[in-house]
Each structure stands twice: as C-alpha cells, then as structure tokens.
Amino acid sequence: MEEAIKYALRGVSIEQFATVFVPTSESIQVDLNVPIRTNYDERAIAVGAKIQYLENDKLFLVAEVVCHFIIGDDSWNKLTNSGVRDAILPKRFVRHLVDASISTLRGALCAKTENTPYSKFFLPIFNMTEDQGEDLVISKD
C-alpha cells in the first residue's frame, strides 16, 4: 500500500477574474486549463485552474485560481531520499491536487458571479478516471 503524502494548502490566489459581455446565444464553449508549477527547494507545488467561457469564439468570462501546496518534511525526505534525487509524485496524488484546485475555482466562480447574469455559467463536477494523468517529476536541478 502506498504511503500517504503529507501536504498543506499554504494559500489560494485569484489570478484572474473578468467579465467582458453577457452572451445572448446558447452557443457557449468552455475551455479548462490546469497549469502546474513546482519548486524543488521549497517543496512547493502551485496548481492552477483556469476556465474561459466563449460565445462564438469570443471570450466573455475568464476565471483563474492557483492553489499553493507544500509537501511535509517527512514526506519530502522519503520522496527525494533526503534531497538526493528528483521527487516523483504519484499521479493519484497529483489528481487529488488538481481536483482541489478545480473545486476551488468552482467556488470562486460561484462567489464572484453570485446575483449576476453570469451565475448560470458554472463549472460542472466531473471525475478523472484512474488512468488519466501521470506521475509528476519535480527535478532536483
């Protein structure tokens, strides 16, 4: 059995939130992007979640959050052999961080659009399958 990686959420930042116009048609596209940044020396992982809503290929709403995580000392030492090798985070753990970031984006979107015409544009709940994603290598160099 895989040992749990201990981590903490150190903060959340809302990187973007903008509304451009209120769409008038039902032709809405949604684009979700999940950028990940890492810092080996700080044991840090920043997982973003950015959503763009478009009407006829024109952006009308964008929201982006970044969740800042830090791996606990004991877990980091086990992952890196006390700082000797690259850290390899299992895809299951990475999916967990991605899910947390997407849920945070969902909450920010709900809060920011409450009582506005944009409140009907939500981010649905979805589940990643076990085979989606891959291990994340945080390079020592």
- Write down the pLDDT at residue 126: 72
Distance CA 64, CA 23 (A): 20
> What is the percent of the chain where pLDDT is above 70?
94
Identify the three-state secondary structure at position 30: strand
Which residues does 26 contact at the CB level (< 8 Å), separation at least 6?
none
- Write down the pLDDT at residue 104: 96
Decide if pLDDT at 131 tops 90: no
**pTM passes above 0.85:** yes
The pLDDT of 59-76, averaged and rounded, is: 97
Identify the three-state secondary structure at position 27: coil
Q: What are the two backbone dihedrals, phi and then psi, of residue 42, each rounded to the nearest 5 degrees?
A: -95, -5
Decide if pLDDT at 127 tops 90: no
Structure tokens at 90: 């299992």
Q: What is the pLDDT of residues 6-35, one digit of tens each?
A: 999 999 999 999 999 999 998 999 999 999
Average pLDDT in the chain: 92
- Write down the pLDDT at residue 69: 98
Q: What is the pLDDT of residues 77-103, one digit of tens each?
A: 999 999 899 999 999 999 999 999 999
Q: What phi-psi label fits residue 138: left (phi over 0), alpha (psi between -120 and 50 degrees) or beta?
A: beta
Q: What is the pLDDT of residues 28-42, one digit of tens each?
A: 999 999 999 999 999
The CA distances from residue 123 to 47, 126, 132, in Å, are: 17, 9, 19
